[in-house]
């Protein structure tokens, strides 16, 4: 395995095309994947791993699901990209618009990052305001204005989490703790005239899985509406993961705009942003907010996404079944471990702390060492978990309650 990573490092920066894949926080070389089928990954050194990462969420139907593979094969025969409108785009767009009350119109892009970046521009163009408010520990892709952490010390002074981001850009981003109503209300009060949008993962999955406290999302909706601020739900993970629709249906809170990705591409690079007609009509060519993409709405990706969503739509008991498996596992976990587990639907995170985790500060309060040991021990036994302690694990429609037993402590 070593030689594969060494070889990769010669030609690819850090040996990977996305940093978390490098297993840096674990301190071993990453596994290379040769192929995958259903709930299993096969590594390049011929090991079989039970997959709880699922490409970070998209593979809700399991890997190489025939439903998706057949749709893709059919689309491939017709050509792979035209840079012109296709019926495939309208078809997937209609499925999504029908599934979300809050989405009248949508636009497809090629990643979640691109979708968020475009949505932010649109929100700024629509409101004619500059500032955006986000929450610590929520991830919205790697565009400049969103790589922002909580200001350390001096309140209101944001810091970038990456080098190479000018202060002039991030000075318009405010980041505050999740689940903290008081700070939110104070921040909006202070900046209301300048805030274009509040962006939030309604169920954050990027600080480990954290649940919104009762009333928190409703409160965001109320305060943003009162202040003419666009509320954006980043449902790149939760869209079509928790139900056929998004977390907004589970919690019954309607945002002005929604970001989608991951599942809607069925394993291909797709992102999307959608919202009310009034907002979306401000995009070029009808409006004056520019946004474009050579491969946006790619026909192969549309086919994979459509096949995935049609399958989910036709068999909605899938959601309660997956949820039942994770619920059962979580009860089991709690009866034999003191470590905190957060879960909803087919998502769960085992936190390496015995304290509750409701925000990023609490999520950071884990034992890195315990995480590392847990990850490696499971990997050695053929279990593949997300290789970072700030991630959510997933199950697919292929996983069973028996599979979950392998996750329990000894
Ligand atoms: C994965 C993710 C993104 C970024 O999507 P990419 O396709 O990786 O650019 C944005 N928001 C959330 C909530 C995500 O989980």
Closest residue by Cα to atom 10, ligand 1, is 140
The reply to whether 26 and 101 lie within a common domain is: no
Model confidence pLDDT, tens digit, residues 252-275: 999 999 999 999 999 999 999 999
Evaluate whether residue 56 is within a structural domain: no
6 plus 104 within the same structural domain: no
Q: Are residues 149 and 205 in the same domain?
A: yes
Where a domain ends, among 266, 296, 313? 313
Q: How many domains does the chain have?
A: 2
* Ligand 1 mutation pick, 56, 60, 108, 262, max ligand atoms within 8 A of CB: 262
Say if 164 falls within a structural domain: yes
> Can you read off the two tokens belonging to residue 220?
């965001």
Kindly state whether residue 299 falls inside one of the protein's structural domains: yes
Ligand 1 neighbour 268 (Cβ under 6 A): no
94 domain residue, yes or no: yes
Report yes or no: 148 and 133 within 8 Å, Cβ to Cβ: no
Q: For residue 146, give the DSSP letter.
A: G
Q: What pLDDT score does 150 carry?
A: 64
Q: Is residue 319 annotated as part of the catalytic site, yes or no?
A: no
Model confidence at 192, in pLDDT bands (50, 70, 90)? confident
The residue from 285, 313, 341 where one domain ends is 313
The reply to whether 87 and 20 lie within a common domain is no
The CA–CA distances, whole Å, from 46 to 5, 129, 361, 382 equal 16, 54, 39, 11
Q: Is the peptide bond before 285 cis (omega within 30 degrees of 0)?
A: yes
Ligand 1 centre to CA of 170 (Å) is: 19
Please tell me the distance between residue 112's alpha carbon and the centre of ligand 1 in angstroms.
4
Mean pLDDT of 110-124: 98
Residue 166 pLDDT > 60: yes
| pLDDT for residue 153 is more than 70 | no
Pocket flag, ligand 1, residue 239 (CB < 6 Å): no
Q: Is 261 in the pocket of ligand 1 (CB under 6 A)?
A: yes
pLDDT, residue 113, reads 98
138 Cα nearest atom in ligand 1:
13
Contact (CB, 8 A) for 113 and 331: no
The verdict on whether 262 is a catalytic residue reads: yes
* CA neighbor of 149 nearest in space, from 175, 187, 131: 175
> Would you say residue 292 lies in a domain?
yes
Residue 216 is assigned to a structural domain of this protein: yes
Using the atom order of ligand 1, give the atom closest to the CA of residue 116. 10
Tell me: do 16 and 114 sit in the same domain. no
Cβ–ligand 1 distance for 267 under 6 Å, the answer: no
Catalytic residue among 51, 136, 234, 256: 234
Q: What proportion of the chain, given as a percentage, has pLDDT over 70?
A: 97
Query: Distance from the CA of 382 to the center of ligand 1, in angstroms?
Result: 27
Average pLDDT on 67-81 reads: 98
Least confident of 88-92, 152-156, 228-232: 152-156
pLDDT of the residue at 155 = 47
Ligand 1 centroid from CA 375, angstroms: 23
- Full strand arrangement of the beta sheet holding 230-234: 105-109, 271-275, 257-260, 230-234, 195-200, 131-135, 173-176
Do residues 201 and 300 share a domain? yes
237 pocket-lining for ligand 1 (C-beta < 6 Å): yes
Q: Is 206 in the pocket of ligand 1 (CB under 6 A)?
A: yes
Q: Which domain holds residue 18?
A: 1-30
Cα-to-centroid distance, 162 and ligand 1 (Å): 17
Annotated active-site residue 234? The verdict is yes
375 Cβ neighbours under 8 A, 6+ residues apart: 26, 385, 387
Q: What is the pLDDT of residue 154?
A: 45
From residue 124, how far is each of 167, 321, 359 by CA, in Å?
18, 41, 27
20 and 155 together in one domain: no
Question: What would the DSSP string read from start to end of 277-323?
Answer: HHHHTTBTTTSSB----TTTT-HHHHHHHHHHHHHHHHTTHHHHHHH
127: in domain: yes
Task: Kindly state whether residues 11 and 130 are assigned to the same domain.
Answer: no
Phi, psi dihedral angles at 169 (to 5 degrees): -85, -50
Mutate to test the pocket of ligand 1, among 59, 145, 237, 267 (most ligand atoms within 8 A of CB): 237
251 lies in some domain: yes
* 273 Cβ below 6 A of ligand 1: no
On whether both 13 and 153 belong to a single domain, the answer is no
Given a contact cutoff of 8 angstroms between Cβ atoms, the answer to whether 401 and 329 are in contact is yes
Alpha-carbon gap, residue 354 to 357, rounded angstroms: 9
pLDDT at 151 over 80: no
Name the domain boundary from 313, 338, 365.
Answer: 313
Q: How far is the CA of 270 from the centre of ligand 1 (A)?
A: 10
Centre of ligand 1 from the C-alpha of residue 261, in Å: 7
What is the atom index within ligand 1 of the atom nearest the CA of 238? 13
Q: What is the pLDDT of residue 362?
A: 97
What is the rounded distance in angstroms from the CA atom of residue 404 to the CA atom of residue 264? 26
Going by the DSSP 8-state scheme, the letter that residue 88 receives in this structure is: H
Shared domain check, 22 and 159: no
Q: Note whether 309 and 209 are same-domain residues.
A: yes
Tell whether 17 and 110 lie within a shared domain.
no
| DSSP for 12-46, written as a single string | SGGGSSSGGGG-TTTTSPPPPEEEEEBTEEEETTS
Element (H, E) at 334: helix 317-336
């Amino acid at each position: 395995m070593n030689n594969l990573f060494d070889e990769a490092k010669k030609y690819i920066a850090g040996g990977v095309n996305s940093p978390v894949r490098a297993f840096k926080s674990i301190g071993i070389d990453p596994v290379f994947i040769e192929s995958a089928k259903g709930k299993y990954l096969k590594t390049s050194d011929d090991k079989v791993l039970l997959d709880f990462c699922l490409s970070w969420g998209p593979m809700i139907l399991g890997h190489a699901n025939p439903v998706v593979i057949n749709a893709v094969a059919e689309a491939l025969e017709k050509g792979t990209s035209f840079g012109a409108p296709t019926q495939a785009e309208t078809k997937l767009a209609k499925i999504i618009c029908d599934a979300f009350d809050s989405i009248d119109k949508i636009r497809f892009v090629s990643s979640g990052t691109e979708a968020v970046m475009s949505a932010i521009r649109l929100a700024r163009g629509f409101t004619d305001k500059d500032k955006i408010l986000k929450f610590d520990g929520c991830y919205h892709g790697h565009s400049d204005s969103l790589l922002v952490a909580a200001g350390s010390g001096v309140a209101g002074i944001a810091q970038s989490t990456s080098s190479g981001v000018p202060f002039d850009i991030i000075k318009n981003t405010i980041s505050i703790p999740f689940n903290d109503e008081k700070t939110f209300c104070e921040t909006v009060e202070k900046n209301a005239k300048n805030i274009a949008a509040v962006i939030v993962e309604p169920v954050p999955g990027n600080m480990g899985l954290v649940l919104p406290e009762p009333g928190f999302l409703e409160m965001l909706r109320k305060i943003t509406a009162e202040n003419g601020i666009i509320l954006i739900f980043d449902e790149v993970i939760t869209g079509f993961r928790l139900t056929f629709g998004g977390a907004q249906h589970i919690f019954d809170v309607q945002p002005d705009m929604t970001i989608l990705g991951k599942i809607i591409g069925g394993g291909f690079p797709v992102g999307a942003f959608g919202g009310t007609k009034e907002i979306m009509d401000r995009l070029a060519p009808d409006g004056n907010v520019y946004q474009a993409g050579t491969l946006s709405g790619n026909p192969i990706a549309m086919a994979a996404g459509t096949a995935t969503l049609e399958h989910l739509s036709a068999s909605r008991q899938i959601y309660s079944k997956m949820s039942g498996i994770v619920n059962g596992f979580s009860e089991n976990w709690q009866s034999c471990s003191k470590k905190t587990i957060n879960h909803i639907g087919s998502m769960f995170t085992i936190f390496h702390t015995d304290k509750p985790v409701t925000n990023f500060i609490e999520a950071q309060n884990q034992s890195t060492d315990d995480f590392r040991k847990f990850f490696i021990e499971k990997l050695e036994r053929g279990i593949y978990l997300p290789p970072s302690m700030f991630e959510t694990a997933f199950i697919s429609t292929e996983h069973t309650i028996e599979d979950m037993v392998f996750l329990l402590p000894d």
